[in-house]
């Protein structure tokens, strides 16, 4: 369908309006929080005379926080160094900044504004680190598929009979009592140390859903052990 | 006993665990309680349990806490 010049202009104006925080979007209620937090919220609204200065100052500290966080998580970013790392930090700060400006009226003053803002940039770092790790080192088939208990857990020649029975029960429960998804998640995370966010990306899921799968799998395995007479804790002995 | 402790750790799934999503909106408040030297588990018991078990959420929590400590409170002016 052809769009006329006037319609295109209206569409462009609408997109610009949606994309940019509005002066009219200033909260009707009073801004809450301490003095510095109130200043941040007021000045980050488009139309405020100090908007550009405040936005630049916030972006700067978000980028420094992102760089620090990326260095704090070296394990999953082995291949990233120098300019590449700085580029990822800049992306994290940019994306966090967009989300903060879009949600500025949701700030309720329950924490300092800056702590609230740091949360956004740390979550961005977390997401980008996980995606980088997944793209460069996705979990292998061996890490996702059930085979046997790892050597650190497997029964050893000197183990007592009770321990051997306990591990045999655990093995049987992993094979027969977990759902396929619970087994896949338990094997990857609990037995093979796959990072939860990397597994979530691999399975097209999210951290919360994968955690729930893992939680349910562990509860089920504990219950199976207790029901078979091999409780792990004294509480499970008392209340099987 | 060591073996039982290993299994207890491997299968740790504590009642009252709030899960990952519950911690997202309150992470800043949780961290500020810690920065004041108080115990966040009194106000957010489910998230306190969760952070002991979930390495992903613990890493995010540690990052927010570290950022708030290191870069502190800023004024826009």
pLDDT tens profile B65-76: 999 999 988 999
If one counts every other C-beta atom within 10 angstroms of the C-beta of residue A105, the result is 15
Give the residue from chain A lying closest to B16, CA to CA: A215
Helix and strand tally (H, E) in chain B? 5, 0
> Residue B30: pLDDT band by 50, 70, 90 thresholds?
very high
pLDDT tens profile A74-93: 776 766 778 888 999 999 99
- In the predicted model, is pLDDT for residue B2 greater than 70? no
What pLDDT is stored for residue A151 in this prediction? Answer: 73
pLDDT tens for each residue of A115-165: 999 999 999 999 999 999 999 889 998 888 888 887 777 666 666 788 888
| pLDDT value at residue A17 | 34
Task: Determine whether the interchain pair A121/B67 forms a contact, defined as Cβ–Cβ distance below 8 Å.
Answer: yes
Q: What is the pLDDT of residue A237?
A: 63
Q: Which chain B residues contact residue A119 at CB under 8 A?
A: 27-28, 64
Residue A111 is nearest to which of B3, B32, B66, comparing CB atoms? B32
Q: Which long-range contacts (CB under 8 A, 24 or more apart) does A98-107 make?
A: A100/A44, A100/A58, A101/A21, A101/A44, A101/A55, A102/A21, A104/A21, A104/A41, A104/A44, A104/A45, A105/A25, A105/A26, A105/A27, A107/A31, A107/A32, A107/A33, A107/A37, A107/A41
Mutation for B interface: A125, A160, A211, A212, most B CBs within 10 A: A211
Q: Between A29 and B59, whose confidence is greater?
A: B59
Predicted confidence at residue B41, as pLDDT, reads 97
Q: Where are the beta strands (DSSP E) in B1-77?
A: none
Q: How many CA atoms are closer than 13 Å to the CA of A8, on its beta-carbon side?
A: 5
**Residue numbers of chain A with a pLDDT score lower than 70:** 1-30, 76, 78-79, 154-159, 234, 237-240
pLDDT score at B77: 86
Q: What is the pLDDT of residue A9?
A: 40
Residue-level pLDDT at A31: 74
- How is residue A29 annotated by DSSP? S
Tell me which residues of chain A, numbers 138 to 197, contact chain B at a CB-CB cutoff of 8 Å. Answer: 152-153, 159, 163, 166, 170, 190, 195-197
């Amino acid at each position: 369908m052809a769009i006329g010049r006037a319609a295109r202009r209206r569409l462009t104006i609408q997109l610009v309006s949606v994309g940019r925080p509005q002066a009219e979007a200033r909260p009707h209620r009073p801004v809450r929080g301490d003095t510095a937090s109130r200043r941040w919220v007021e000045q980050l609204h488009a139309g405020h005379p100090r908007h550009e200065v405040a936005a630049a100052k916030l972006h700067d500290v978000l980028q420094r926080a992102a760089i620090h966080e990326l260095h704090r998580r070296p394990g999953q970013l082995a291949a990233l160094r120098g300019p590449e790392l700085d580029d990822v930090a800049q992306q994290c700060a940019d994306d966090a900044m967009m989300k903060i400006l879009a949600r500025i009226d949701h700030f309720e003053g329950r924490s300092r504004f800056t702590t609230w803002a740091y949360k956004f940039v740390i979550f961005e770092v977390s997401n980008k680190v996980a995606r980088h790790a997944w793209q460069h080192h996705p979990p292998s088939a061996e890490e996702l598929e059930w085979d046997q208990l790892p050597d650190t857990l497997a029964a050893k020649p000197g183990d007592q009979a009770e321990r051997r029975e306990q591990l045999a029960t655990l093995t049987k429960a992993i094979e027969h009592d977990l759902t396929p998804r619970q087994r896949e998640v338990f094997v990857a995370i609990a037995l093979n140390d796959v990072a939860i966010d990397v597994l979530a990306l691999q399975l097209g899921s999210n951290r919360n859903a994968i955690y729930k799968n893992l939680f349910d799998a562990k509860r089920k395995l504990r219950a199976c052990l207790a029901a078979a007479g091999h409780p792990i804790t004294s509480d499970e002995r008392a209340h099987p | 006993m060591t073996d039982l402790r290993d299994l207890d750790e491997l299968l740790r799934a504590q009642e009252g665990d709030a899960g990952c999503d519950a911690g997202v909106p309150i992470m800043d408040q949780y961290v500020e309680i810690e920065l004041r030297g108080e115990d966040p588990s009194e106000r957010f018991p489910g998230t306190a349990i969760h952070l002991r078990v979930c390495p992903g959420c613990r890493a995010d929590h540690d990052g927010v806490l570290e950022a708030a400590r290191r870069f502190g409170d800023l004024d826009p002016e």
